[in-house]
Amino acid sequence: MPPPGAVAPVRHPEAPAPGELLGAHYDQCFGCGESQPYGLHLAARAGEDVSVTAEFTVQPAHQGAPGLAHGGVLVAALDETLGSLSWILRVIAVTGRLESDFVRPVPVGATLHLSARCTAVDGRKIYGSAVGRIGGPDGPVAVRADALFVEVKIDHFTSNGRPDEIQAAMSDPDQVKVARAFEVNP
Ligand SMILES: CCCCC/C=C\C/C=C\C/C=C\C/C=C\CCCC(=O)SCCNC(=O)CCNC(=O)[C@H](O)C(C)(C)COP(=O)(O)OP(=O)(O)OC[C@H]1O[C@@H](n2cnc3c(N)ncnc32)[C@H](O)[C@@H]1OP(=O)(O)O
């Protein structure tokens, strides 16, 4: 729950337009990267205000029980969708806390229709909620989560990530472009 002093989130003036595909923030990301064979390959789009939508189809590699998605994978999908709100706020943030409810089992082959919105901002603390529905964008809720993200600087990654991957990312012009987009924040 956001504290009493929290304010409404503000859509960044240069945020992608509603409906625009956001693309991967890192090609090796388990959530959205194209280069992760068993990743979620989650594709997120900008929504109205400070919101996003995303889809993820459960693959056999994502099973927990026979024919059912692993709960941790579903939480990863919620986390990734919430993280994509960064593109709308133009702020780099990492998950500090994520509380999830599993409401319905999600079979392999099902597409999870996700939506997330930022509910409040309090300094570096960013609050958000997400749901995942099955059977269609208006289908029943299968999973949901409330989260607190904390704004960080780029050195959160460069100081803590394994040097091999950091060096590879910093020498990839596409990756540097993504990082730069978040550095200017009026
Ligand atoms: C060159 C390569 C660049 C690559 C990246 C480039 C660009 C990225 C761009 C876009 C991103 C787009 C999409 C991202 C999509 C998905 C990603 C998924 C997100 C994740 O999957 S990300 C991984 C999991 N995540 C972590 O790996 C975090 C580990 N963690 C920490 O790194 C620290 O823990 C941190 C930074 C969270 C805080 O540390 P800190 O020292 O900076 O700040 P501090 O502790 O003071 O907290 C400040 C205020 O938050 C409150 N607070 C903190 N944690 C709380 C909790 N759990 N519950 C309640 N309140 C909490 C405090 O109570 C205080 O509140 P107050 O100010 O009121 O006192």
Digit-coded pLDDT (tens) for 5-57: 999 999 999 999 999 999 999 999 999 999 999 999 999 999 999 999 999 99
Of 61, 155, 160, the closest CA to residue 108 belongs to 61
Instruction: Report, as an integer, the average pLDDT of 61-80.
Output: 98
Residue 114 inside a domain? The answer is yes
Residue 1 inside a domain? The answer is no
Phi, psi of 19, deg, nearest 5: 95, -20
ipTM value for the complex: 0.94
User: Into how many domains does the chain fold?
Assistant: 1
Q: How far is C-alpha 140 from the chain's CA centre? A: 21
Q: Where would I find the beta strands (DSSP E) of the chain?
A: 43-46, 51-57, 63-65, 68-69, 93-102, 111-122, 125-134, 141-151
The domain in which residue 86 lies consists of: 43-181
Compute the distance from residue 126 Cα to the ligand 1 centre, in Å: 10
Cα–Cα dist 91/42, whole Å: 20
Residue 13 inside a domain? The answer is no
Residue 63 inside a domain? The answer is yes
Checking if the pLDDT of 73 tops 80, the result is: yes
Check residue 78 and give its pLDDT: 98
Phi, psi of 57, deg, nearest 5: -100, 125
Compute the distance from residue 124 Cα to the ligand 1 centre, in Å: 9
Residue 112 inside a domain? The answer is yes
Check residue 185 and give its pLDDT: 46
DSSP code for 175? H
Q: Which of 27, 50, 91, 94 to mutate to test the pocket of ligand 1 (most atoms within 8 A of CB)?
A: 94
SS3 72: helix
pLDDT band at 182 (very low <50, low <70, confident <90, very high): confident
- The reported pTM is 0.96
Residue 69 inside a domain? The answer is yes
Residue 11 inside a domain? The answer is no
Pocket of ligand 1 (CB under 6 A): 25-26, 31, 79-80, 83-84, 86, 92, 94-97, 123-125, 148, 150, 152, 154, 157-158, 169-170, 175, 178-179, 182
CATH of the domain at 133: 3.10.129.10
Residue 25 inside a domain? The answer is no
Residue whose CA is closest, atom 31 of ligand 1?
A: 96
